[in-house]
Amino acid sequence: MTQYAASEMRATLVLASTSPRRQQLIGLLGLPVEIMPSHADEDTPEGWSPARIVEALSHRKASTVLDRASQTPGAIVVGSDTIVVLDGDVLGKPKDREDAVSMLTRLAGRGHEVYTGLCCIEAASGRAVVSHSVTRVFMRALSEDQIGRYVDSGEPMDKAGAYGIQEIGAMLVERIEGDFFTVVGLPVSMLAAQLGEFGLQLP
């Protein structure tokens, strides 16, 4: 395995996502980044645990762009997937306004878990490292009017659990237990650790 420092810029991270939030966070590592949307199928069999779901989908997303990424020297493909879990039910992105209101009504005043899976694949070798992170989020009690106004902002529609903790949705959250970036959708510390598995030494 080749050892190299981040400052040598011999690795390029290929993010298999169009999420602006993930693009911003991956930039914190100080490495060149290419964006290659995966458009991967996100269906999973019933009965899978939340951990298995996010790990499988993050690996699927990264694998989908692997052929394209292999054209980039030193490419390491990064795939990530986030879900919200309440009472054992997996809450993905809302289908419509009614679905978003329903999710937020269930989440309001309660605690839930956010799972984010992360997969790094070295394009040259095909070697993959996969793991996940869990953070518990406690949401404020919310009125029907507050939920409706938040949904009408449009922010919830592309987010698991129908809220974004790093945007307007921060006002809905009372506190968290765990890693903030897991809730945003890209656990940066875990990503740095995974890249270390390929010999990439980050600051």
What residues are labeled active site?
Answer: 81
d(CA 143, CA 190): 36
Q: What HEC string does the chain produce? A: CCCEEHHHCCCEEEECCCCHHHHHHHHHHCCCEEECCCCCCCCCCCCCCHHHHHHHHHHHHHHHCHHHHCCCCCEEEEEEEEEEEECCEEECCCCCHHHHHHHHHHHCCCEEEEEEEEEEEECCCCCEEEEEEEEEEEECCCCHHHHHHHHHCCHHHHCHHHCCCCCHHHHHEEEEECCHHHHHCCCHHHHHHHHHCCCEECC
State the CB neighbour count (10 A cutoff) for residue 63. Answer: 18
Place of tokens 């040598």: 8
